[in-house]
Amino acid sequence: MDALSLLAGGFADALTPANLLWCLVGVVLGTAVGVLPGLGSSMAVALLLPLTFLLEPTAAFIMFAGIYYGGQFGGATTSILLNTPGQSSSIVTAFEGYAMARSGRASQALAAAVLGSFVGGIVATTVVAFFAQRMVAFALGFGPAEYFALAVLAFVSTVAVITSAPARGVAALGVGLALSVVGIDDQTGAVRMTLGVPQVLDGIDIVVVTVGLLAVGEVLHCGFRPDGAPADRVIASGAPWLSRADLRRSWLPWLRGTAVGLPFGVVPAGGAEIPTFLSYGMEKALARRRGNSEFGRGAIEGVAGPEAANNATTATAMIPLLGLGLPTSATAAVMLAAFQQYGMQPGPLLFEGDADLVWALLASMFVGTVLLLVINLPFAPLWARLLRLPRRHLYAGLVVFATVGVYAAKGSVFEVGLLYAVGAVGLLMRCHGIPVAPVLIGVILGPLAEGELRRAMAAGQGDPAVLLDSGIALGLYALMLAGVAIAVAAALRARRRTPAPDAENPPVAAP
C-alpha cells in the first residue's frame, strides 16, 4: 500500500534537526502551560498557536504536535498531583491518579499516564495514517439519534458503574444537567435558568465547573475536615519507577483503553470524555470481578486505561478533522484555525491537494508522541516532588492557579466568583458523600443529549420512534441494558452475601 511510502516521505520532511528542536520546544512549552491547573492541552494549543505562525508550515505543525502532547501530559500531571484536571478528558485520571499520589505512588501514576498516552497515541496515529479515508465513511453514519443514544449510554454507565450508590450518582448527574441548561438555548434563543444574571447567558463554562468542583472544593473541604488534617504534613512522593507488578497490571488497561478510544475520535461526540469515562468504568468493573479491586484507593488501572483512551481518541479525532473538516474537540477546532491560517481547507480533497503537509503532520504526531515519552518519563519523579511542598502552600497555590487560570481564560471577576461558588457546591457534595464526577459528565454531555434529542424529534416530525430507527443506536441501547443488567446482578449478589439491606442503594431508575 502506498500509505507506507507516503508516510516515509512525511517522516523525511519531519525528521530534520531543526524540526526536532521545534518539537522539543513545543513539548516543553506545552507541558509548562498544561501543568498550570485549569489550563490543559486545548488552552496550551490556543495560547501558543500564534507562536507557531512564525515558522514555515511543516515546522509549525511539528511544534504544534509537541505542544499538544505536552499540554495533554501537563493536564494529566495536575490531575494526578493536585486533583485539578487541565482538560475535561483528564477528569477521570484524577480519580485514581490523585488517590495514588496521596498514597505515595505519584511517580507510578505519572509513568502509567505517560506510557498509556504513548501506547494510545502510537496505535491511534497508525490507524489514522492507514485508515483515515475509509473511517470517514463510518463517521458520516452518525445522526442525532445515534448521538443521543451515545449520551444516554454515558449517563447510565456513570450512574450504574462509576458511582457505587446510584441515588448519589443521580443527584450529582442532576446537578450537572441543571448547570448545563443555564444560558441561551442555542436552537431557539430562549433564555433559560439564568436567574436574571446577564453574565451566564453564554452558559456556565466547563472549565469553571471542573476547577471549582475539584480544586476549590477540595481545598475548602480540606479546611473543613473535623480531624484537623495536619496542614504541614508532606505527602511522600515514593519510589520513582514502575515496578514489574505495576507494568503487569497496566499493559492490558493500556491496550483496552486504546481500543475503547479509537472509534470515538472518529465520531464527533464532544471529544475524549466519553471514552475516558467508559474505560474507567470498564477497568473498575473488571477489577471488581477479579476481586482485588484497589479502585477508590489508587488503582493504577484507573490511570492507565483512561489516559490511553484519551490519547487514542484525540489522535483519531484527526480523521474527521482532516477528512471532513469537522473539529470534534476544542483542540481540533484550534487546529482547524491553524490549517486555515496556512491556506489549507480540510476536507475530502485535502489528502490529494496538500498531501505533503498531511503526511508530515501525521509523521510529526508520531515524533511528538515519542519525544513526549523520552522527555517526560524521566521527569515524572521530578514532577512528583511537587507534592513535597508543605500542604498549606500546595493548597494555597492551587487556589491561586485556579483563580488565575479561570481569570485568564474568561477575563472577568464574575467568573472567578462563579468558580468559588461552584467550589462551595463541591464542598457541600463532599460533605454528603456525593461524587462530583457525574456533575462533570452532566455538564459536558447534557447539551449534546438535549440538542441531539430535539434534532432527532424535529427530523422525525415528533415521532419518538425515530430514536430507535437505527442499527447503531439500537446497538448502543443494547450495550447499555447489558451493562445495567450486569451491574444489578452484581449488586444483588453482593446483597445476598451481606444480609443487611442497604438503605443507600434503592433501585432507582437511571435516567
Partner 1 sequence: MTTTGPDAPASAPTAPPTAPDAPPAPRTRATLGVAALTGATGVLLLLGGALIREPAASGYLGPRFFPLAVGALLVATALASAAWALRPAARRAAAAAPAPAPERGDRRTLVVMAATLAGHLLLLQPLGWLIAGTLLFWGISTALGPRRPLLDLFVAAALAGVVQMVFSGLLDVPLPAGPLGGIG
Question: At its nearest, how many Å lie between partner 1 and the CB of residue 312?
Answer: 22
Question: At its nearest, how many Å lie between partner 1 and the CB of residue 219?
Answer: 7
Name which of 297 and 385 has its Cβ closer to partner 1: 297
Question: At its nearest, how many Å lie between partner 1 and the CB of residue 250?
Answer: 19
How many CB atoms neighbour CB 297 within 10 A? 11
In a 10 Å sphere around its CB, with 0-12 CB exposed, 13-18 middle and 19+ buried, how is residue 377 labelled? middle
DSSP 85: -
Contact 95, 79 (CB under 8 A): no
φ, ψ for residue 192, nearest 5 deg:
-125, 130
Name which of 1 and 503 has its Cβ closer to partner 1: 503
- Dihedral class, residue 236 (left if φ above 0, else alpha if ψ from -120 to 50, else beta): beta
The residue behind cell 445515534 is 146
Contact 348, 161 (CB under 8 A): no
d(CA 25, CA 19): 10
d(CA 40, CA 38): 6
The cell for 481 is 441494558
* Best CA proximity match to 119, nearest among 25, 30, 12, 250: 250
Name which of 220 and 309 has its Cβ closer to partner 1: 220
Question: At its nearest, how many Å lie between partner 1 and the CB of residue 387?
Answer: 10
Name which of 57 and 426 has its Cβ closer to partner 1: 426
Name which of 170 and 380 has its Cβ closer to partner 1: 170
How far are the Cα atoms of 197, 295, 475, 496 from residue 309, in angstroms, in the given order? 38, 18, 21, 35
Q: How many helices (H) and strands (E) does the chain have?
A: 21, 2
Name which of 13 and 96 has its Cβ closer to partner 1: 96
Question: At its nearest, how many Å lie between partner 1 and the CB of residue 185?
Answer: 4
Question: At its nearest, how many Å lie between partner 1 and the CB of residue 7?
Answer: 35
Question: At its nearest, how many Å lie between partner 1 and the CB of residue 220?
Answer: 6
How many CB atoms neighbour CB 489 within 10 A? 10
d(CA 55, CA 23): 12
Question: At its nearest, how many Å lie between partner 1 and the CB of residue 492?
Answer: 16
Name which of 168 and 256 has its Cβ closer to partner 1: 168
The cell for 212 is 471549582
Question: At its nearest, how many Å lie between partner 1 and the CB of residue 111?
Answer: 20
Give 282-343 as a DSSP string: HHHHHHHHHT---TTS--THHHHHHHHHHHHHHHHTHHHHHHH----SHHHHHHHHHHHHTT
Question: At its nearest, how many Å lie between partner 1 and the CB of residue 213?
Answer: 8
